[in-house]
């Protein structure tokens, strides 16, 4: 249970509420034992001599204690909830911050669905633990300890019942825990798979509907859902099996008290009779009350152990994220240069995964500051992988990358990324407005800067046509925008930061050729003259670049040069060009 214990540090800052919760719990426990103690006193003393005044006074005391217990319970519950809500909010924020530091490789290893489960379902289980921590986890052993003191002081003879019930309960708890922990782990893994299936379907509704694959996806979800149901049923059935066992032991304890009491009364044991020979029935009543408190504490403790084992599984999964070794660390003494935009690859190779196939092999390439370079090649040739290495989203498996003669690994990562505008192949937008999506590129961008970037990306006219202007609402993933509008908005987001290096990863695939040329002309006229790396499947898009880099199917450079040079010298480029251009060099489309 070290994992869940490790997370209790998030509750420690709330010392005031811990004190209130602990105080309320102590008062509740004290009231629970003092009431039967007073009742025993009434039965043994006041009732025997018919002291009505004393009975009334003690009854009022019992009523006051009961009200005090209710107030203490409210205070304990409120403080415990306050701690759990605030502690888990801090924990969730730290987890989210940690997820933001994970490299692409880390995310690939953990999987997105697993991270979603960590931040939601696992957090709920940890929150429930925090909520119960000062209500039950500490209360249960306290009830057992105090109850044993009262029970032993009342009757040592009857206390023998605990030699039977306590070992039975402890053994039951240990057996249940041994079976529960692996089942709870299976439940969380099954939930990861369920989330992954839902996430994939939510992200690809067009593909699913276009290929009429709903029956297949429903069948796939049904299998995943059934696996989760089986895992959850297995875990919950154990909980259902545990409850009657615990109640059986609880009732066994009550029965044994009556059996032992009857035996000692029958034998005339002196501890069970007054000096005048009157049976001490109140002793049996009080002991039964104390034993019920003890057994209730044991039952509560047993249920909490099972619950904690479930929370510990979730805590282990959360701690696994916290303790993950980030394979791509920001250097502590990283330099913070202002880049000119020069890029150099020296014998760079890269493969996904530890033993993955090499996507890029022995890439050696120099790009001058301000140069406009097109990158082309067949699908799977490693074009996108090549440019993701520049903002250090991945580290190469072999070789080195230099920006302005600085080794990329020696540079401060945020400093580097702040000077790079990256427009991904799949336009990623967030719920908000046109403006909020653009200023992700530069948080303090003025309206004038937003408009300039939008004009260069050809999205300004769309904003003007909207009554809300740049406050026009953008839904999550840009579902209320066309493919071209999403790409142009993504380009505006990159341009607003005035990057030294601008990477367009097939970012104009959804815009027409005329719009693409206007965007490229605008980029060529930018006053800050960024280095441009443009990935494209279309020869017409890259043919007017300063140079073109051609990658073959093995992830190697097949040629570097102008359109005219590569037509003569690169077989890969020539085949691509011949499939898209006629002999006159004009586009066939």
Is residue 522 a part of any domain in this protein? Answer: yes
Query: Which residue, 287, 322, 357, sits at the end of a domain?
Result: 322
Q: Are residues 585 and 463 in the same domain?
A: no
Residue 210 has pLDDT above 70, yes or no: no
pLDDT, tens digit (0-9, with 9 covering 90-100), for 268-295: 777 777 666 666 767 777 777 777 777 7
**pLDDT-wise least confident of 19-33, 106-120, 174-188, 281-295:** 281-295
Tokens of 199: 């996430």
Q: Is 406 inside any structural domain?
A: yes
Segments forming the whole domain that contains residue 402: 333-419+499-589
Let me know whether 105 and 188 are in one domain. Answer: yes
Residue with tokens 């969380």: 188
Q: What is the DSSP letter of 355?
A: T
Q: Does residue 113 sit within a domain?
A: yes
Q: What is the pLDDT of residues 242-266, one digit of tens each?
A: 778 877 887 887 788 778 878 877 7
- Same domain flag for 280 and 250: yes
Query: 376-388 burial by CB neighbour count: b if 16+ within 10 A, else e?
Result: bbeeebbbbbbbb
Q: Report the C-alpha gap between 567 and 580 in whole angstroms.
A: 13
Contact 489, 475 (CB under 8 A): no
Cα distances (Å, whole numbers) of residue 346 to 250, 396, 570: 74, 10, 21
Q: What are the start-end ranges of the H helices in 440-502?
A: 447-456, 460-465, 483-495
Does residue 114 sit within a domain?
yes
| 481 lies in the same domain as 504 | no
| CATH number where 214 lies | 1.20.1560.10
Statement to judge: residues 259 and 192 lie in one domain: yes
User: How much is the pLDDT for 549?
Assistant: 93
139-148 pLDDT, tens digit each = 788 888 888 8
Residue 3: which of 171, 137, 170, 129 has the closest Cα? 129
Q: How far apart are CA 350 and CA 562, in angstroms?
A: 26
Backbone dihedral angles phi then psi of residue 346, each to the nearest 5 degrees:
-125, 105
pLDDT tens-digit profile of 373-392?
999 987 778 888 999 999 99
Over residues 429-454, the pLDDT tens digits come to 888 899 998 998 888 999 999 999 99
C-alpha pair distances (Å), 26 with each of 18, 151, 167: 12, 18, 26
Position 581 in a domain = yes
Residues 375 and 461 both lie in one domain: no
* The total number of structural domains that make up the chain: 3
Taking all residues of the chain, what is their mean pLDDT, rounded to a whole number? 84
Report how far residue 501's alpha carbon sits from residue 488's, in angstroms, rounded to the nearest whole number.
Answer: 18
At 238, list the tokens: 């154990």
- Which residue, 495, 515, 533, sits at the end of a domain? 495
Same domain, 125 and 202: yes
Provide the pLDDT for residue 19.
93
| pTM for this entry | 0.71
pLDDT at 560: 92
Secondary structure class of 20 (helix, strand, coil): helix
Considering the domain architecture, whether residues 189 and 278 belong to the same structural domain is answered as yes
Q: Which of 387, 320, 326, 327 is nearest to 360 (CA)?
A: 387
The stretch 31-42 carries a mean pLDDT of 79
Asked whether residue 353 falls in the same domain as residue 400, the answer is yes
Residue with tokens 């300039």: 452
Identify whether 328 is part of a domain.
Answer: no
Within a domain: residue 472? yes
Give 482-499 pLDDT, tens digit per residue.
Answer: 888 888 899 999 999 999
Name the CA dihedral angle for 273, 279, 285, 288, rounded to a multiple of 10 degrees: 50
Residues 81-100: tens digit of each pLDDT: 999 999 999 999 999 988 88
Give me the sign of the Cα torsion angle 491, 495, 497, 502.
positive
Predicted confidence (pLDDT) per residue in 529-542, tens digit: 999 999 988 888 88
């Amino acid at each position: 249970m070290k994992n869940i214990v490790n997370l209790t540090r998030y509750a420690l800052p709330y010392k005031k509420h811990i004190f209130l919760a602990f105080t309320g719990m102590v008062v509740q426990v004290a009231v629970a034992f003092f009431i039967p103690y007073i009742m025993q006193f009434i039965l043994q003393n006041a009732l025997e001599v018919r002291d009505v005044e004393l009975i009334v006074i003690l009854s009022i005391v019992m009523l006051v204690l009961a009200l005090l217990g209710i107030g203490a319970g409210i205070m304990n519950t409120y403080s415990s909830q306050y701690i759990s809500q605030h502690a888990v909010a801090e924990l969730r924020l730290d987890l989210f911050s940690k997820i933001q530091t994970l490299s692409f490789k880390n995310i690939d290893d953990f999987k997105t669905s697993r991270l979603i489960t960590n931040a939601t379902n696992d957090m709920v289980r940890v929150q429930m633990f925090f909520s119960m921590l000062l209500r039950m986890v500490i209360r249960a052993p306290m009830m057992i300890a105090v109850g044993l003191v009262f029970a032993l002081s009342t009757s040592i003879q009857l206390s023998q019942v605990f030699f039977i019930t306590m070992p039975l309960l402890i053994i039951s708890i240990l057996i249940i825990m041994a079976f529960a922990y692996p089942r709870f782990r299976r439940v969380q893994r099954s939930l990861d798979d369920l989330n992954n299936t839902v996430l994939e379907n939510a992200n690809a509704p067009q593909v699913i509907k276009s290929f009429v694959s709903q029956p297949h996806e429903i069948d796939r979800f049904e299998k995943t859902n059934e696996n989760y149901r089986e895992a959850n049923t297995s875990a919950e059935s154990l909980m259902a099996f545990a409850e009657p066992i615990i109640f059986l032991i609880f009732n066994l304890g009550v029965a044994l008290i009556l059996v032992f009491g009857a035996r000692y009364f029958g034998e005339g044991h002196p501890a069970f009779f007054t000096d005048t020979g009157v049976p001490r029935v109140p002793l049996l009543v009080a002991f039964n009350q104390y034993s019920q408190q003890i057994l209730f504490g044991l039952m509560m403790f047993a249920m909490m152990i099972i619950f904690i084992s479930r929370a510990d599984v979730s805590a282990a999964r959360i701690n696994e994220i916290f303790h993950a070794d980030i394979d791509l660390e920001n250097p502590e003494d990283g330099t913070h240069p202002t880049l000119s935009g020069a890029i150099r690859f020296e014998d760079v190779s890269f493969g996904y995964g530890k033993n993955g196939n090499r996507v890029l092999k022995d890439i050696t390439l120099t790009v001058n500051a301000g140069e406009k370079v097109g990158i082309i090649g067949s699908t799977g040739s490693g074009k996108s992988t090549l440019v993701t290495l520049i903002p250090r989203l991945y580290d190469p498996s072999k070789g080195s990358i230099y920006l302005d003669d600085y080794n990329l690994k020696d540079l401060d990562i945020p400093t580097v990324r702040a000077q790079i505008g990256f427009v991904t192949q799949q336009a990623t937008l967030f719920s908000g407005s046109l403006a909020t999506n653009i200023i992700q590129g530069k948080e303090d961008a003025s309206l004038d800067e937003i408009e300039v970037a939008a004009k260069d990306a050809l999205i300004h006219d769309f904003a003007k046509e909207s009554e809300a202007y740049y406050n026009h609402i953008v839904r999550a993933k840009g579902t209320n925008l066309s493919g071209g509008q999403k790409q142009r908005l993504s380009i505006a987001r990159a341009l607003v930061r005035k990057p030294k290096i601008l990477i367009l990863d097939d970012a104009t695939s959804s815009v027409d050729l005329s719009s693409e040329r206007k965007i490229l002309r605008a980029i060529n006229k930018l006053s800050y003259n960024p280095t441009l790396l443009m990935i494209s499947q279309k020869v017409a898009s890259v043919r007017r670049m300063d140079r073109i880099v051609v990658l073959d199917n093995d992830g190697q450079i097949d040629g570097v040069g102008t359109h005219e040079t590569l037509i003569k010298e690169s077989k890969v480029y020539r085949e691509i060009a011949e499939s898209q251009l006629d002999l006159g060099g004009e586009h066939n489309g």
